[in-house]
Amino acid sequence: MTIDAVLLVIMGAMFAVAVYLLMDRTLTRIMFGLMLFTNGANLLLIIMAGPAGLPPIVRDGVADDEYFDPLPQALTLTSIVISFAVTAFLLALIYRSWVLARRDEVQVDIEDIQVAEQPAYDAEDDAELAEEESEFLEDHEDPNIDYELTTQDDPTVRPQDPKEGDRR
């Protein structure tokens, strides 16, 4: 099976330009980036299908490896339909954005920035374990022993004081 290097270079260029366009804040460039990305994926599917063969219609006297696999064609057709639907949706978003604000740029939302800058606090993760029922701990063992022997400045486990004895 030979793969045409020109098609691989074209596919790589399509993916590179698509990623560049997807990182922009304008919806039009995002739409063109998605279109290039899906077309690059379709080209990848066609390249990976291999060289053309006989149509996948069973005939007597034809070996199995002489037929063309119809799966890449079906996947490409499915990808085309999905990319058409996503493109239509993005066009509707662009049109709506243009009608409402006369621009297609996605604005920075101040509330999103405030939420992103908040310190992460998860009540479940940050709470102390009241009681740990584990098959790996004995009844007299403390599940928080390693957490009690650490400090915020030094998160490594400190050695225990020999006077306290082994609390495990």
CATH (domain of 10): 1.10.287
Q: What is the pLDDT of residue 145?
A: 63
pLDDT band at 157 (very low <50, low <70, confident <90, very high): low
Residues 6 or more apart from 128 whose CB is under 8 A from it?
144, 147
- pTM for the model stands at 0.59
Q: Which residues of 129-165 are buried (b: 16+ CB within 10 A; e: fewer)?
A: eeeeeeeeeeeeeeeeeeeeeeeeeeeeeeeeeeeee
pLDDT digits (tens, 9 = 90+) for 6-57: 888 999 999 999 999 999 888 899 999 999 999 999 999 988 887 777 777 7
* Contact between residue 92 and residue 14 where contact means Cβ atoms under 8 Å apart: no
Q: What is the pLDDT of residue 153?
A: 63
Q: Is residue 149 part of a domain?
A: no
Number of domains in the chain: 1
pLDDT band at 141 (very low <50, low <70, confident <90, very high): low
Rounded-to-integer distance, Cα 168 and Cα 166, Å? 5
Domain that holds residue 72: 5-107
Rounded-to-integer distance, Cα 87 and Cα 94, Å? 10
